[in-house]
Amino acid sequence: MSEIDGKVVVITGASSGIGEATALLLAERGAKVVLGARGSDRLEALASRVAAAGGEAAYARTDVKRRQDLSSLVGLAIERHGKLDVLVSNAGVAPISLLDELRVEDWEEMIDVNLKGVLYGIAAALPIFRGQGFGHFVNVISIAGIQIRPTMAVYAGTKNAVRTITEGLRQEAGDKLRVTSVSPGFVHTNLADSMTNPEVKSQITGQMDKMAIPPAAVARAIAFAIEQPAGVDVNEIVIRPTSQA
């Protein structure tokens, strides 16, 4: 029997890309998935796909910029299943640009979604995990937090902040909780849709088309961390296209 079977997994940013692929894979392996994203129609369609394949899914419209939305999503998992095994914090945006462009609203959006959204998830799930005596945080970060490049200063800053928080959380977690960071490189997702600079968006989309790996590859990495026995904590996974420098 899979170590994933029967686990209750909350996933943010679940309506597309890595979140969607993770939901489908984990449900296939027997997890009960609880899905959060801003697009209710896509969430409903995904939950229907999971159910049609014999899995179990619940969902709630979730904007990770709102702390109450994260609390409600975690609460939905507890209400339906009486426990929470894993929180996959996957929601993210990337309206990258040169700092000289002063796209301050884009900076704020990245801070609110990429950084504060993860913190709100921790705030919602950590008391539950402590009370249960078990739990697993999986934070989807980015190799942008490892390789800093022009146009990505603020985006990489948010990802580096999440990397730091994740490691701090791991050190504070004790011997009952697990903490994993997953840092993907180029992945075929709709992340470019959040980019407001047309030139940068075109460049990133072109690079994705040339080398990006499918979201399912990242989903398998997430599943690998989750399926380990309780005493095994996979702390960091970096996954990227073979051709990506």
Residue 50 lies in a domain: yes
Domain count, the chain: 1
- Which H, E and C letters describe 197-211, residue by residue? CHHHHHHHHHHHHHH
Return d(Cα 138, Cα 90) in angstroms, integer.
Answer: 8
User: What average pLDDT score do residues 211-235 get?
Assistant: 96
User: What average pLDDT score do residues 154-183 get?
Assistant: 97
Amino acid at 91: A
> Over pLDDT 70: what percentage of the chain?
100
H or E element in which residue 20 lies: helix 17-28
* Burial class of 94 by CB neighbour count within 10 A (0 to 12, 13 to 18, 19+): buried
Nearest to 223 by CA among 180, 166, 174, 162: 180
pLDDT band for position 147 (50/70/90)?
A: confident
Which comes out higher in pLDDT, residue 243 or 124? Answer: 124
Active site residue ranges: 155
- pLDDT reported for residue 188: 86
User: What average pLDDT score do residues 29-39 get?
Assistant: 97
Q: Whole domain around residue 91: which residue ranges?
A: 8-230
pLDDT tens column, 179-222: 999 999 999 887 777 778 888 778 878 877 788 999 999 999 99
Q: Is the pLDDT of residue 172 over 80?
A: yes
pTM of the model: 0.94
- pLDDT reported for residue 209: 78
Contacts of 90 (CB under 8 A, 6+ apart): 11, 12, 13, 14, 18, 19, 22, 140
- pLDDT reported for residue 63: 98
Q: What average pLDDT does the chain have?
A: 95
Residue 1 lies in a domain: no
- pLDDT reported for residue 195: 77
**Range of lowest pLDDT (13-22, 153-162, 199-208, 236-245):** 199-208
pLDDT tens column, 67-87: 999 999 999 999 999 999 999
Residue 119 lies in a domain: yes
Amino acid at 5: D
Q: What is the CATH number of the domain that holds 88?
A: 3.40.50.720
DSSP string, 26-71: HHHTT-EEEEEES-HHHHHHHHHHHHHTT-EEEEEE--TTSHHHHH
Maximum distance among all Cα pairs of the chain, rounded to whole angstroms: 54
What ranges in 134-214 are assigned the alpha helix state H?
153-173, 198-211
- pLDDT reported for residue 1: 58
Which comes out higher in pLDDT, residue 197 or 39? Answer: 39
